[in-house]
Structure 1
Amino acid sequence: MPKRPPSPPSFTPPLPSDQHLVVLSSPQGSNNWLCKDTKDVERLVEVSSKLRRIKSLIIMRGDFAIISLWPQSSEEKGGRLVGEILHILDKSDIKEWKKAGAWPEGLGETPTPAQAIRQSDSEEEEYASEGEGEDEDDDESRSQ
């Protein structure tokens, strides 16, 4: 009889003390990311090996993630990496957090840059289509 795979860990509120909800700032190469938490503390974390195996996963600047911090001993002071990304939150996860009333105020919910670009493009198209109608009216009035 085949073994049953272990159930995936739950990333619903409240989180254990060694896990934090953060927003990803910028990639730093080799699966490393800068992230900021609710107190604007910037940390360098790496993508966990489980997430690296998911080929369809795309991590973008502005995504919300749950990170796990490694225990720091007083002897270790050289490395910049302080933890790993365990889970990338999607819209349904964010909705659950807000419904539970556990969404931190410091993070807000800002759109990812790709979403912001799409919104600004659609606004420009609307503006351009409005402007085209005005130009036609001006041309007609000039010809008369």
Structure 2
Amino acid sequence: MIRDVRLAHADFDPAHEMAHFTARQDAGGVTSFLGKVRSEASDNPVLALELRHYAPLTLPGMEELAMRAERNWKLTGLLIIHREGVMEPGDPIVLVACGARHRRDAFEASDFLMDHLKSESWFWKREKTANGWRWIEPRAQDADDLARWAHIR
């Protein structure tokens, strides 16, 4: 089992990370999700996104989340890379990948990880537009997504 969990303080290359991840394991299937900074198609586009975190909890929390996924799905590998700091539209924010002998484990573990990273993580987000900076609050959909996993410990 390969576990690679990182907090990135600078830009990362998702293609390079995926190539390295897939080369190091024997999986029947690999799923991945790449989250990027979007520039909203509106009259007030996003110019930047900042993710702040609480250092004593962030990486240990990400590691614990990875272990929860490992306990609940039969994985051959797991990758989580999450950025912090200021990013621009198009920059990668988060990369999650899971390898497994069978696709269902990889899909479900990836979905579980992303729902938790999006809704129950140790990051605070704010975005910059022409009107300045504003904090981004979780959406109701994020809470609904997270609730699907209440049975997973």
TM-score normalized by structure 1?
A: 0.24
TM-score normalized by structure 2?
A: 0.23
Report which structure shows greater RCO (CA 8 Å, sep ≥6).
2
